[in-house]
Amino acid sequence: MCIRDRDEDTRFHRTHEDKYKSASIRFDTSTLVREKSEEGLVSFEECVEQVGGEWLYVVKYPNVPEEELVKLRKAKLKGITANDLNPLTMKTWVSYKDFRVPGCAETNQRCVLELAEESNEGLKLPERMYVKVRLTLNPPVNRLMKEPKPTLDELLPQPVELPRAPSTQEVIDEFKAELVLAIDSLSIEYT
């Protein structure tokens, strides 16, 4: 069975977006680091928990200077249509549902591109176009809550403190004091 006869997901996993097996456009690896303020973090957390994702917009511009672009629009060239010279806006849904799992800080997605504007309706796009998105958060939105491990002191029962028995001398002194009080009270009665 030919790879073209298989469904889209099977075709993707078989080719792994191999640039020699499927048509693709590769850009230089670029990383965008964006720190969010307090309001930005709150809105991002709401987007993760409630909405579940965001639209990512991709705009394709013609790769020619403005002067040549005007000349190309006036001239009729073979293989180039007016649509090739106009900017093309596409959008894709980037899902944040992976970030709902506690401790998840990275997601890799292959998102389907679709036309974003009604003015682009006459354009014909390839059957399926994708954009690969990798998002990394530091720290994760839902942090992994580790239960604290109990210490040895918490596991072992605390020894019960027994009352200290008084020494013999203390007992004798206390008994003498009570005898003196008893004798004084008796002497007061009989005198």
Which pLDDT tens digit goes with each residue over 69-115? Answer: 777 777 776 666 666 677 778 888 999 998 888 888 888 888 888 88
Tokens of 41: 């973090």
Could you tell me the two tokens for 138? 């530091």
Handedness of CA 147, 152, 155, 159 (dihedral sign): negative
pLDDT digits (tens, 9 = 90+) for 24-80: 555 666 677 778 788 888 888 888 889 889 998 888 777 777 777 777 777 776 666
pTM of the model: 0.56
* Dist. CA 51–CA 47, nearest whole Å: 5
Cβ partners under 8 Å of residue 115, min gap 6: 88, 89, 90, 91, 121, 123, 125
Using CA atoms, how far apart are residues 53 and 36, in angstroms rounded to an integer? 17
Distances in Å between the alpha carbon of 42 and those of 2, 46, 92, 144? 49, 6, 23, 19
What's the average model confidence in pLDDT over 124-137?
A: 78
Helix (H, G, I), strand (E, B) or coil at 36: coil
Contacts of 74 (CB under 8 A, 6+ apart): none
